[in-house]
Chains A and B, each alone.
Chain A
Amino acid sequence: MATVNVRYFAALRESLGGSETVDIEPGQTLGQLRDTLIARGGAHAAALARGKAVRCALNQVMADESAPLIAGAEVAFFPPVTGG
């Protein structure tokens, strides 16, 4: 089974931890991975819920949810950024 490394930052890190390894299906997109995590229920469902502002990156580049995943990728979910 292929896996990706999922990382969380800011408020998402506080509720879900810093990172975890997650199994993916071939051809799965970033958005589908988010839905898979939501389907676990609990803290994941609350933190990643549809309607909450969650941004994502794929291999350390900002990405949208249509981006396809490949095995071994680094995925990140986080709130809108607020630097500067």
Chain B
Amino acid sequence: MPRVSIQTDDFDLSTEVAAVRAGDAGVGAIASFIGTVRDRSPGEPAISAMELEHYPGMTEAAIEAMIDEACRRFPLRGVRVIHRVGRLLPGDQIVLVVTSSSHRGAAFQGCEFLMDYLKTQAPFWKKETTPEGARWVDARVADDEALARWGLRSGNAA
């Protein structure tokens, strides 16, 4: 089982959790996060579709490095990251992070750390289609601030 998959296909949470747990009786906690496509953002036109682009090669390497960093910071036993690319629709799953550990603290923290890192440091770009046309999504300063909580500086949105 690879730790990182970039794929157009959908994923199944139960299958991925089972794989992370498999053969490891020391797991006492599993945390997971799934990001999905919203149908709109407040004050914005409705989104009919979303196109996700990435930088093949760099994406996988960047997320592998993030997982290594997460494992240095927290006693994680298993990690799985899946990020979809291509055309997605409102309600579709975009990203999955699963972490396992002996205790819940590390599992929660490792999962949140990986998502905060991924939002600002992994080379993905979202383009929304709305009735007013297609537009690239702007990066958010709030995502840089989320990463800063872990002592990591990011100037992605700034």
A-to-B contact residues, CB < 8 Å:
7, 9-11, 13, 53, 55, 57, 60-62, 76, 78-84
Contact = CB atoms under 8 A, between A and B. Distances in A.
Contacts of A80: 138-139, 156-157
B121 A9 contact: no
B94 A84 contact: yes
Contact of A57 (B55, B94, B124, B156): B55
A5 B52 CA distance: 23
- B-side interface mostly: mixed
Given A9-B53, A9-B125, A10-B53, A81 B156 contact: yes
Contacts, number: 78
A61 B95 CA distance: 21
A78 B121 CA distance: 12
Interface stretch (B15-23, B57-65, B70-78): B57-65
Given A83-B52, A83-B118, A61 B127 contact: no
Interface residues of B, number: 29
Interface in B22-80: 35, 52-55, 57-58, 61-62
A80 B55 CA distance: 13
B94 to A, nearest CB: 7
5 closest A-B pairs (Cβ-Cβ)?
A: A83-B124, A80-B139, A10-B125, A60-B58, A84-B119
